[in-house]
A and B are shown apart, each in its own frame.
Chain A
Amino acid sequence: MSQQSTFAAGEAIPFVEYDAVSDEQLGFYIDSSICSGCKACQVSCQDNKQLDVGQRFRRVYEKAGGGFEMTEAGGFTNSVFAYTVSIACNHCDKPMCMRRCPTDAIHKREGDGIVRINTDTCIGCGNCAKSCPYKAPQMNPKTGKADKCDFCIDRLAQGQQPVCVKSCPLHAIEFGPISQLRKKYGELAEVNGLPTAKMTRPNLVIKPNRGALKKPEHAQLVKG
């Protein structure tokens, strides 16, 4: 809501209900093939959501691998790859955070499928933050409550796009009904460095960086 901007970083923002903004499940498309890892998305989200250091509703993970071998003549051949993936909340079909929430503060909305945390009824147990494989819910140390990406629902309610979508200098983030994004960009929702999509069924489509196709291994989230 508009009064958000009166709150200093870290202060609790009263929970506001919104009507469904879509009849269909919404999701993000991330073009990791062009992501430079600049983190403008992360900072614009912090700026818009009035977040302090430590809370990052959108995060950028880096994965690097491969290595060097020295030639007999003293040169180097290499198989190095590196790429970044920007992740917020995937508003999963099977949200782990919701399953572990003892108070029903975390709920998945009818229609648009947005997973929200009601910060008024959140008791601050931290189960959601611990259970999400993507680390989307995060504890606010000042309020003692959890919060996370809500697709900028205040903006959606006014017909605007989430702030990250509008801030990426390389236009590598899109947003919309997930069925349309999958039709346009395919079904891929996991790359080397991210958790398996089988776990929570994220509403996420990724265009992989060429480096992401090197080794099909599933690791913990790499450094953000």
Chain B
Amino acid sequence: APKADGQIPLAQDERIVHTCSTFDCGGKCDIRAHVRGNQLVRISTINDEAVDDDMPLMRACVRGRGYRRFVNHPDRLKYPMKRVGKRGEGKFERISWDEATSIIASESKRLAEQYGPSSRHIIEGTGAVTGALNGVEFAKRLFNLTGGFLHAHGNPSTVNAMIGTIFTYGENPLAGSSLETLRDSELIILWGHNPAETVFGNSNHFFQELKRAGKRIIVIDPRFSDSVAAYADEWIPLKPTSDSALVEAMAYVIFEEGLQNQSFIDKYSVGVSEASLPDGVPKGESMLAYLNGDKGGVKKTPEWAEPITGVPAATIRRLAREYAKAKPAALLMGWGPSRHYRGEHMTRSTAWLPVITGNVGVSGGSAGAWNAPAYLRFPVHPDNFENPVGHEISFTQLNQAIADYQSVGPHNGLQGAEKLDAPVKMVMCLGSNYLVNQNQNINKAAKILEDESKCELIVVSDLYMTPSAKYADILLPETSFAERWNFGFAWGFGDYVRVSEPLLKPEFERRSDYDWLLDVARKLGVEKQFGEGLDEHGWVKKCWTMMQETYPDENLPNWDGMLKKRTHLFKSGVKTVAYQPNIDDHDNQPFLTESGKIEIFSKALYDMQDPAIPALSHYQPSPESFADKSLSKEYPLQLITWKPANRANSTMYNNPWMQEVKRQELWINPIDAQARGIKDDQSVRVINGRGVIEIPAKVTPRIIPGTVGLANGAWRQLDKNGVDKGGCANTLSSDLQSPIGKGNANKTMLVEVSVA
């Protein structure tokens, strides 16, 4: 029998295709799909001999190994459908593609005429976004050709981290260095960073190498994550949302013991000492004044931080000394800690430590803040037409823009206008579960969507009847990555692009978003401009040509060459140290801030004169956290979420192998469980003022007392009493906005737990 890269004995008619998925999966697995006839029969992965030392790609992770049950699933949608029951009930009947595309065409035209084109909205979810081609990009093209649409800025993943970093390091917020620079580190701190589960590009390759090389790795996390088990020498649990207090107490110790790098501070930063405050700012606003209690009278000692963070003062002192004395030391922030109400300020705080110890711009150091690689490259999407609608809402405002559009303004995230000119009347939700499941406070969101007089048309295309799909008026069966052309990118670290090709012919009446949007375009009379006469493969080739032009230094092969090469590694990002040019050649390449320096104190934030937006970001008790004295009386446990290894957000939730890998359960510490009479495996109710979840408990010391945890992305499954038996954390999350960027704060929530 023929052999595939020496991997697996093959059947005579079995072919192997080197491909990748194009949903928003962090590792973008190297998939070798084994295909017989029109069936995906097995998955294998990269051969070790093919791994490149400069950009070592991981073997496929657990999600990639399970793709077969995602693509071949009996529950996949088969036909276009139209809602027949009340919206949200999930009752549909089969219709023809002609009827579906006619309704979409005529309704989008009617709504644009009646309310204006800005009544049309597109949700940018993560079901297909790491591919060059996806339904969202084509839907934008179609709307832009027919009057425009209301775009949303920001994203629930990183908006707070990005904004916090912009106000610290300037307009270049990519504060992460490439991973092989960690070989120069004396100490690595993963702060709320959990690559073992998120699968963050090729991070796990490096962390296992660093661990085997004996590097000291500390993990700071409320949860004993799988990254702690696999990599850490020490776990320091802290209470969620108290991160800034831990930073401050560490900074206090570093100054108290004279461990700071004074010349670095003086040369590169603003706001550490009083002398470096910008003109026009009164005394007492600097980091040192704050730490010494000159304002407010409280010294930010480890003893001050102990009851706030839960970390013993002695541990804080030891950690501070260890961090300051290790030269260099890397403090790597995860993105999760920023998805909180004070997430922007927490991100700014975490830059304090590298700044006062001179770890910014140094190989083996790190800048703290938004740990996104400085060399990151993105897929090139089809070129688009200008959107005639000039204003944008925050992605957190959609429900408000549907229910009460007049209350939407710049104060809560509207950009480019003083107020909205129309309510949102039509939503296109293509390859996204953000409409309901991944939205904030989903019981509230669902109630708004259920009102058919408000939003008049909801179009969803997906592979499955997701909790969001249930709210569709028109529900369309999309093709999977295994049934269409594309090229895909990883997130974050590990920089590469890979061909994704149709392995299988679509079964039943499944069609790609581009394919049916072309029908809609024809019915709206814009087919030629919309499609340019290209089929999907034609668009991939066109996008690839744009890739070649966008990244000329990479000498990308042409598309035919790429079809042979399959994966291109962007090696020009290897050995990139974030902000190194701004440090090494500061006079000629200052930071892209107003002062040209790292702004520990931000004059731009100071000028906002908002108590929720301090110019010197520091610890403030967060609403809906353990420190919320009034709400915590009723709901004393703080609920956190994390991205589990067995799915990508909510994608793959219903893959049976992945469900077997990790059960959806509530993590609760034995101390909290005992106080409530809860035993391991027992069904529990998790409740707050917004909703009720009922799922099994995992009683485990792997989470700090006072905090409970749920893996994110489980699908909401309401019973007849409105109890979510699926365990979707957004049943309980809030739609509070973060203060600066009006991003999501839905990871900050309080609950109570009891035996069900």
Tell me, in angstroms, the Cα distance from A157 to B266 when the chains sit together.
Answer: 67
- Segment at the B interface, from A140-148, A164-172, A188-196: A164-172
B226 touches A160 (CB 8 A): no
Instruction: List A contacts of B140 (CB < 8 A).
Output: none
Instruction: List B contacts of A74 (CB < 8 A).
Output: 306-307, 310
Partner of A44, one of B43, B204, B658: B43
* Residue from the set A44, A76, A171, A210 with the largest chain B CB neighbour count within 10 Å: A76
List the B residue with the shortest CB-CB distance to A158: B9
Interface membership of chain B positions 657-693, coded 1 if the CB is closer than 8 angstroms to chain A and 0 otherwise:
1111110000001110000000000000000000000
Does B50 reach chain A (CB closer than 8 Å)?
no
Does B538 reach chain A (CB closer than 8 Å)?
no
Instruction: List B contacts of A54 (CB < 8 A).
Output: 660
A40 touches B41 (CB 8 A): no
Does A219 reach chain B (CB closer than 8 Å)?
no
B306 touches A71 (CB 8 A): yes
A46 touches B310 (CB 8 A): no
Does B8 reach chain A (CB closer than 8 Å)?
yes
Interface membership of chain A positions 149-179, coded 1 if the CB is closer than 8 angstroms to chain B and 0 otherwise:
0000011001010010011111100000000
Does B296 reach chain A (CB closer than 8 Å)?
no
Does B122 reach chain A (CB closer than 8 Å)?
no
Does B702 reach chain A (CB closer than 8 Å)?
yes
Instruction: List B contacts of A67 (CB < 8 A).
Output: 670-671, 701
Q: Beyond A2-B9, A38-B62, A75-B310, is A170–B230 a contact (Cβ under 8 Å)?
A: yes
Interface membership of chain B positions 634-664, coded 1 if the CB is closer than 8 angstroms to chain A and 0 otherwise:
0000000000011000000000111111100
Q: What is the minimal beta-carbon distance from A59 to any residue of chain B, in angstroms?
A: 10
Does B34 reach chain A (CB closer than 8 Å)?
yes
Partner of A170, one of B208, B646, B656, B669: B208
Instruction: List A contacts of B311 (CB < 8 A).
Output: 75-76
Instruction: List A contacts of B14 (CB < 8 A).
Output: 2, 5
Instruction: List A contacts of B211 (CB < 8 A).
Output: 34
* Residue from the set A3, A36, A166 with the largest chain B CB neighbour count within 10 Å: A36
A82 touches B661 (CB 8 A): no
Does B10 reach chain A (CB closer than 8 Å)?
yes
Count of CB-CB pairs between chains A and B under 8 Å: 168
Q: Beyond A37-B229, A43-B66, A168-B59, is A76–B310 a contact (Cβ under 8 Å)?
A: yes
A68 touches B704 (CB 8 A): yes
Q: Beyond A5-B34, A76-B705, A166-B7, is A211–B229 a contact (Cβ under 8 Å)?
A: yes
Tell me, in angstroms, the Cα distance from A6 to B317 when the chains sit together.
Answer: 62
Partner of B60, one of A40, A48, A52, A154: A40
Partner of B65, one of A2, A43, A83, A171: A43
Does A16 reach chain B (CB closer than 8 Å)?
no
Interface membership of chain A positions 70-101, coded 1 if the CB is closer than 8 angstroms to chain B and 0 otherwise:
11011111101011100000000000000000
Q: What is the minimal beta-carbon distance from A64 to any residue of chain B, in angstroms?
A: 5
Does A39 reach chain B (CB closer than 8 Å)?
yes
Does B128 reach chain A (CB closer than 8 Å)?
no
Does A209 reach chain B (CB closer than 8 Å)?
yes
Does B227 reach chain A (CB closer than 8 Å)?
yes
Does A111 reach chain B (CB closer than 8 Å)?
no
A36 touches B196 (CB 8 A): yes
Does A65 reach chain B (CB closer than 8 Å)?
yes
Partner of A73, one of B8, B11, B313, B671: B313
Instruction: List B contacts of A155 (CB < 8 A).
Output: 8-9
Q: What is the minimal beta-carbon distance from A56 to any residue of chain B, in angstroms?
A: 7
Does B309 reach chain A (CB closer than 8 Å)?
yes
Tell me, in angstroms, the Cα distance from A77 to B318 when the chains sit together.
Answer: 14
A77 touches B312 (CB 8 A): yes
Q: Beyond A34-B211, A83-B229, is A160–B8 a contact (Cβ under 8 Å)?
A: yes
Q: How large is the interface on A (under 10, 10 to 19, 20 to 34, 35 or more residues)?
A: 35 or more
Does B720 reach chain A (CB closer than 8 Å)?
no
Does B45 reach chain A (CB closer than 8 Å)?
yes
Partner of B704, one of A76, A82, A170, A211: A76
Q: What is the minimal beta-carbon distance from B407 to any residue of chain A, in angstroms?
A: 41
Q: How large is the interface on B (under 10, 10 to 19, 20 to 34, 35 or more residues)?
A: 35 or more
Interface membership of chain B positions 574-605, coded 1 if the CB is closer than 8 angstroms to chain A and 0 otherwise:
00000000000000000000000000000000
Does B212 reach chain A (CB closer than 8 Å)?
yes
B42 touches A47 (CB 8 A): yes
Interface membership of chain B positions 1-41, coded 1 if the CB is closer than 8 angstroms to chain A and 0 otherwise:
10100111111101000000000000000000010100001
Instruction: List A contacts of B197 (CB < 8 A).
Output: 36, 38
Instruction: List A contacts of B705 (CB < 8 A).
Output: 68, 70, 76
- Chain B binding site: helix, strand, loop or mixed by DSSP? mixed
B62 touches A40 (CB 8 A): yes
Q: What is the minimal beta-carbon distance from A153 to any residue of chain B, in angstroms?
A: 11
Instruction: List A contacts of B237 (CB < 8 A).
Output: 76, 78, 80
Q: Beyond A2-B1, A167-B59, A170-B208, is A43–B657 a contact (Cβ under 8 Å)?
A: yes
Does B320 reach chain A (CB closer than 8 Å)?
no
Does A42 reach chain B (CB closer than 8 Å)?
yes
Partner of A37, one of B59, B226, B656, B700: B226
Instruction: List B contacts of A169 (CB < 8 A).
Output: 58-61, 204
Instruction: List A contacts of B235 (CB < 8 A).
Output: 78, 80
B65 touches A82 (CB 8 A): no
Tell me, in angstroms, the Cα distance from A85 to B310 when the chains sit together.
Answer: 30
Q: What is the minimal beta-carbon distance from A8 to any residue of chain B, in angstroms?
A: 10
Q: Beyond A56-B660, A167-B59, is A36–B227 a contact (Cβ under 8 Å)?
A: yes
Instruction: List A contacts of B645 (CB < 8 A).
Output: 36, 38-39
Tell me, in angstroms, the Cα distance from A44 to B7 when the chains sit together.
Answer: 13
List the A residue with the shortest CB-CB distance to B680: A223
Partner of B68, one of A37, A47, A76, A80: A47
Partner of A38, one of B3, B6, B61, B231: B61
B701 touches A68 (CB 8 A): yes
Instruction: List B contacts of A209 (CB < 8 A).
Output: 229
Q: What is the minimal beta-carbon distance from A207 to any residue of chain B, in angstroms?
A: 11
Does B303 reach chain A (CB closer than 8 Å)?
yes
Instruction: List B contacts of A26 (CB < 8 A).
Output: none
Partner of A5, one of B3, B41, B233, B659: B41
Instruction: List A contacts of B661 (CB < 8 A).
Output: 39, 42-43
Does B228 reach chain A (CB closer than 8 Å)?
yes
Tell me, in angstroms, the Cα distance from A53 to B646 when the chains sit together.
Answer: 15
Instruction: List A contacts of B226 (CB < 8 A).
Output: 36-38, 84
Does A66 reach chain B (CB closer than 8 Å)?
yes
Does B224 reach chain A (CB closer than 8 Å)?
yes
Interface membership of chain B positions 289-322, coded 1 if the CB is closer than 8 angstroms to chain A and 0 otherwise:
0000000000000010011011111010000000
Instruction: List A contacts of B66 (CB < 8 A).
Output: 43, 47
A73 touches B303 (CB 8 A): yes
Instruction: List B contacts of A160 (CB < 8 A).
Output: 6-9
A171 touches B208 (CB 8 A): yes
Interface membership of chain A positions 49-69, coded 1 if the CB is closer than 8 angstroms to chain B and 0 otherwise:
000111010000000111110
B61 touches A40 (CB 8 A): yes
B36 touches A64 (CB 8 A): no
Instruction: List B contacts of A65 (CB < 8 A).
Output: 701
Tell me, in angstroms, the Cα distance from A52 to B68 when the chains sit together.
Answer: 12
Q: What is the minimal beta-carbon distance from A10 to any residue of chain B, in angstroms?
A: 12
Instruction: List B contacts of A38 (CB < 8 A).
Output: 61-62, 196-197, 226, 645
Does A117 reach chain B (CB closer than 8 Å)?
no
Instruction: List A contacts of B309 (CB < 8 A).
Output: 75
The 3 closest A-B pairs by CB, nearest first: A74-B307, A36-B230, A36-B196
18 contacts between A and B (CB under 8 A): A39-B646, A42-B62, A43-B661, A47-B66, A53-B657, A64-B702, A67-B670, A68-B705, A70-B705, A75-B310, A76-B312, A78-B701, A80-B224, A154-B9, A160-B6, A167-B45, A210-B233, A211-B229
Supply 12 further A-B pairs (C-beta < 8 A) apart from A36-B204, A166-B44: A5-B34, A34-B208, A38-B196, A39-B661, A44-B43, A47-B68, A53-B656, A68-B669, A71-B306, A78-B235, A84-B226, A169-B204
Interface residues of A (CB under 8 A from B): 1-3, 5-6, 34-40, 42-44, 46-48, 52-54, 56, 64-68, 70-71, 73-78, 80, 82-84, 154-155, 158, 160, 163, 166-171, 209-211
